Each structure stands twice: as C-alpha cells, then as structure tokens.
Amino acid sequence: MKKIVDNLFKYQDLKFKEFNSKLLPNVDKNTIIGVKIPYIRKIASEFIKDDKYSLFMNELPHKYLEENILHGILISNNQDLNDVLIKLNSFLSYVDNWEVCDVIKPKIFKTDLKKVYKHLKIWIKSNEKYKIRFSIVTLLNFYLDDEFNSEINNLVLNVKNNDYYVEMAISWYFSFALIKQWDETISIFETRKLNKFIHNKAIQKAIESYRLCEEKKNYLKKLKYK
C-alpha cells in the first residue's frame, strides 16, 4: 500500500491541494495530497494490472482523499456488475465527501439497471448521507431517460436528510428531472413538495440550462419561493 501512496505523491501539486481543500471543507487538509483526477485515473489504469489490486480494495479505511478517489475509479472501471455492487456496498460506508461520492460512475450499470435499482432503493433509505447522495446522483445519471418512471421521483422526494450535500444532490436531481421529464415533475414544484432551499436551487439550476425552453423557464421563475 505504501507503493500506491508513494505513487500518488509523485503527482502532488501543492497549489491544487490548497484549491481542492477549499472545495472540501469537511475533509481534513492533512489527508489531501493534492493530485488531479486525470493523474489518479492514470494510476488506476496501471494499477489494475497489479496482482495486489484486490489487497488495496480490501484495505479500508484509506488514509488519503486520493486513495478513496482511486478506489472509486477502480470500482467504476470494474466490468463485473455483481462484484461492483458488492464492493460498493462495502466502500460507500467509508465515503465522507462529495468528490469521492461523485467520481463513482460504473458504466457497467447500464447492462442491468433493474438489478442496480434494487440496491439504490435500499441505499437511498440509509442513514449514511453519502450512500444517499450516491443513490440520488446515480438515479440522475442513469434513470432519467428510458428507465424513468414516477416512482423514481418519489424515491428522491421522500429522502429525509437535511445534510447540505444530500440536499444539493436532490436539487441537482430535480433540475434534471425538470429538463428531461417535465410532465412528470412540474407538479412537485406547483404543489411545493420540496423545502424552500431545494425547491429554489433546483429551479435555479434548471433555468441555467440551455435545454429548457424560455416558456418553461419563465413559468419556473413564477414558482420560486420569495
């Protein structure tokens, strides 16, 4: 494991460390090396060939932010869906910030979104905020097109967690739901089912999108909490 950490430190950028630490105020600065994501992806592509790959995946918790990002990238690159779900179930409990959470985006999910959905329905009801955020962001990324149904909006709507990073994920999700599934989503805003912060933030993000027509943007502006 020391070899992995040493490899990460080879790409250390102290200016980037300062910048990134400001974006992650809840993360101990001493646990941030300061490595940009493309370099971590490079390490991941090399590390996958190493026979000690599985040892790193099982050695939790990690000390450094970048080790957790590396772990998330390795899960995302895994081509065995069942193994991905097992590793996620273990790893998500150790995720403690939005950057690690949001870097996990396994393409293999697309091969069986129904199976993944069963896990998301469990994780989104967890007491662990980054399991919740991961579930919401995954629904946003994979379930707002052909796989969409009204239950998905209700899953996110029924999240009862007022952590800032969970509420931001909910806002983000509903802004995309407005863009992609307007007819199924607009009533949530008309009947004010979201709290003021999430409601207004989702509308703000939707209005900023070029994919929503001016007529709908103007209507959303009228629905904002004053």
In degrees and rounded to multiples of 5, residue 43 shows phi and psi of -60, -40
Q: Give residue 2's pLDDT.
A: 81
At 164, list the tokens: 């800032």
Q: Give residue 51's pLDDT.
A: 67
Per residue in 140-187, pLDDT (tens digit) is 999 999 999 989 999 999 999 999 999 999 999 999 999 999 999 999
In degrees and rounded to multiples of 5, residue 65 shows phi and psi of -50, -45
Enumerate residues 6+ apart whose C-beta is below 8 A from 121: 155
Q: Give residue 78's pLDDT.
A: 92
Per residue in 43-58, pLDDT (tens digit) is 998 887 776 778 888 8
